[in-house]
């Protein structure tokens, strides 16, 4: 099995390198925005959208133009990659996977990519990385990079530069773990297993909320773009980055342990999008419990269930196991002993007591047992499994990109 994996490390640039990193990220942003403006203008004039080759021609013109001489100082390949990124943004828009491409702003996901492994050199023995027009740079090599490098992405987050090196290698999945488990995710407990164990809730956001609130209040009192405003803004960003790191660490540890120890993992096929829908409704038809739902939404988004599932999917695939998503209907109201389904079975949030056979248990454990039983049924029928496995194969296998996306939605 071909395994794509990303290894992310913090860079330790010197002063000149750091200035150049900012300039190169700025040049890539400029090229992206310029190309987007060009495409928009062409569209308004009723002309056809330029293809990638056409954009590359324009890029050469911009690099040679007297108005933007600094573009020549930036490495070519990341600039071309910025055009590729725009092409992909258009493709995602036309496929209705994303909104219309937006102009990039400074300080929001500053990054650029060297798309070709010939462009950079990783010296693992000496803990350094060579990047064109930047030279050798130190990096915190916290683990060995396995496989052949394919591309390198340099990014800035909360004042720190890091590099994510994507590699490719051939791995034989050796299924070591046996046994199946059902997992019920929830607010009171992050995850409850069908064998009765559970993981405490993460709530990384709630823990940092007071600190974040005071930092945001301080920021709002500053004059925009002043020196003190910049400092206050950096503080807010550091807290967000910390929240993202805490969450990323927790999720990775949890999903690694689960996928190493089980061959089959069953979860509810929950749509986080639907769960966290706002209860506000429309002006003519206002919703009920808006405040309560808003608090619940915060908790739902804070838990990172979607990320939990994404990580489980690729880690199980790497370990030779499988993830099975089962229909979530009535998992919390069905008795695992006599199969009776009733809302009365669940009198309180935490306790399950069957009205037919008087079976009593923790409500989340009952949910997890039901999920496992449904998972076994799904496997026995043979349906849905192939669907699940194929979707796992097409999903991205880049663990490090996860924390970035998490941080932006926080
Ligand atoms: Zn029962």
Lowest mean pLDDT among 111-115, 122-126, 287-291: 287-291
CA-CA distance, 377 to 364, in Å (whole number)? 20
Of 5, 85, 110, 184, which one is the catalytic site residue? 184
Under 8 Å between Cβ of 12 and 89: no
- The confidence score (pLDDT) of residue 15 equals 94
Ligand 1 centre from 278 Cα, in Å? Answer: 35
Catalytic residue among 268, 302, 404, 406: 268
Residue range 298-326: average pLDDT?
82
- Pairing mode, strands 191-193 and 198-199: antiparallel
Which pLDDT score, from 0 to 100, does residue 397 have?
41
Separation between Cα atoms, residue 164 and residue 157, nearest integer Å: 13
Lowest mean per-residue pLDDT among 18-22, 50-54, 65-69, 288-292:
288-292
Residue 15, C-beta contacts closer than 8 angstroms, at least 6 positions apart: none
What mean pLDDT is predicted for residues 105-133? 93
C-alpha torsion sign, points 71, 405, 100, 388: positive
Across the chain, what does the average pLDDT equal?
A: 85
Residue 157 to residue 404: CA distance in whole angstroms: 9
Active site (annotated) includes residue 184:
yes
Give whichever of 5-19, 259-273, 396-410 has the largest mean pLDDT.
5-19
What are the pLDDT digits (tens) for 158-216? 889 999 999 999 988 777 778 899 999 887 888 999 999 998 877 656 678 888 889 99
Q: How remote is the C-alpha of 386 from its chain's centroid? A: 24
CB 129 within 8 A of CB 136: yes
**Confidence label for 303 from pLDDT (cuts 50, 70 and 90):** low
Give the mean model confidence (pLDDT) for residues 220-236: 94
Q: What is the pLDDT of residue 299?
A: 55
| 317 Cα: distance to centroid of ligand 1 (angstroms) | 35
Residue 389 has pLDDT above 50, yes or no: no
Residue with tokens 């803004």: 233
Q: Where are the beta strands (DSSP E) in 344-409?
A: 351-353, 360-362
Assess whether 110 carries a catalytic annotation: no
H or E element, residue 237: helix 227-261
E strands in 64-179: 111-114, 121-123, 128-131, 135-139, 148-157, 160-170
Q: Which tens digit of pLDDT belongs to each residue from 245-264?
A: 888 888 999 999 999 999 99
CA distance 266 to 374: 8
- Kindly indicate the confidence band of residue 270, based on its pLDDT and cuts at 50, 70 and 90: confident
Question: CA-CA distances (angstroms) from residue 386 to 100, 148, 308, 390, 393?
Answer: 33, 30, 21, 6, 10
pLDDT, position 399: 38
pLDDT of residue 271: 67
Token pair, residue 282, equals 């429309």
Residues 6+ apart with CB under 8 A from 182: 193, 194, 265, 266, 267, 368, 369, 370, 371, 372, 373, 375
Report how far ligand 1's centroid is from the alpha carbon of 360 (Å).
8
Distance of CA 185 from the midpoint of ligand 1 (Å): 22
- What whole-number distance in Å separates Cα of residue 73 and Cα of residue 158? 25
Residue 7's pLDDT band (cuts 50, 70, 90):
very high
**Are residues 177 and 167 in contact, defined by beta-carbon separation less than 8 angstroms?**
no
Task: Give catalytic status of residue 249 as yes or no.
Answer: no
d(CA 211, CA 135): 39
pLDDT tens digits for 27-48? 999 999 999 999 999 999 999 9
Coil/strand/helix, residue 108: coil
Listed residue (319, 306, 356, 312) closest to 334, CA to CA:
356
């Amino acid at each position: 099995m071909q395994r794509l994996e990303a290894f992310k490390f913090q860079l330790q640039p010197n002063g000149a390198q750091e200035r150049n990193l900012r300039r190169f990220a700025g040049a890539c942003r400029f090229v992206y925005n310029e190309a987007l403006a060009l495409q928009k203008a062409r569209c308004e004039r009723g002309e056809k959208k330029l293809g990638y080759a056409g954009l590359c021609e324009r890029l050469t013109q911009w690099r040679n133009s007297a108005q933007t001489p600094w573009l020549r100082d930036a490495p070519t390949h990341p600039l071309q990659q910025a055009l590729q990124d725009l092409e992909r943004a258009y493709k995602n828009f036309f496929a209705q996977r994303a909104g219309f491409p937006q102009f990039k702003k400074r300080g929001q996901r500053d990054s650029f990519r060297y798309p070709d492994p010939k462009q950079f050199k990783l010296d693992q023995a000496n803990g350094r990385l060579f990047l064109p027009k930047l030279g050798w740079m130190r990096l915190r090599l916290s683990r060995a990079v396995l496989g052949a490098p394919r591309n390198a992405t340099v990014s800035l987050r909360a004042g720190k530069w890091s590099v994510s090196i994507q590699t490719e290698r051939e791995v034989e999945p050796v299924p070591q773990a046996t046994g199946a488990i059902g997992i019920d995710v929830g607010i009171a407990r992050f995850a409850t297993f069908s064998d009765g164990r559970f993981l405490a809730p993460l709530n990384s956001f709630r823990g940092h909320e007071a600190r974040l609130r005071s930092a945001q209040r301080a920021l709002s009192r500053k004059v925009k773009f002043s020196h003190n405003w910049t400092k206050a803004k950096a503080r807010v960003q550091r807290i967000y980055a910390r929240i993202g790191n805490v969450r990323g660490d927790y999720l990775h540890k949890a999903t690694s342990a689960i996928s190493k120890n089980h061959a089959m993992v069953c979860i509810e096929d929950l749509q986080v999008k639907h769960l966290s829908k706002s209860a506000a409704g429309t002006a003519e038809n206002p919703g009920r419990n808006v405040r309560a739902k808003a608090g619940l939404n915060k908790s739902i988004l804070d838990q990172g269930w979607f990320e939990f599932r994404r990580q489980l999917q690729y880690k199980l695939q790497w370990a030779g196991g499988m993830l099975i998503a089962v229909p979530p209907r009535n998992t919390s109201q069905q008795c695992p002993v006599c199969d009776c389904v009733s809302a009365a079975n669940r009198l309180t949030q935490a306790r399950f007591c069957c009205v037919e056979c008087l079976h009593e248990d923790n409500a989340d454990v009952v949910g997890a047992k039901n999920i496992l039983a449904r998972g076994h049924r799904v496997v026995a029928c043979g349906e849905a499994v192939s669907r699940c496995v194929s979707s796992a194969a097409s999903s991205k296998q880049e663990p490090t990109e996860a924390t970035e996306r998490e941080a932006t939605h926080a």
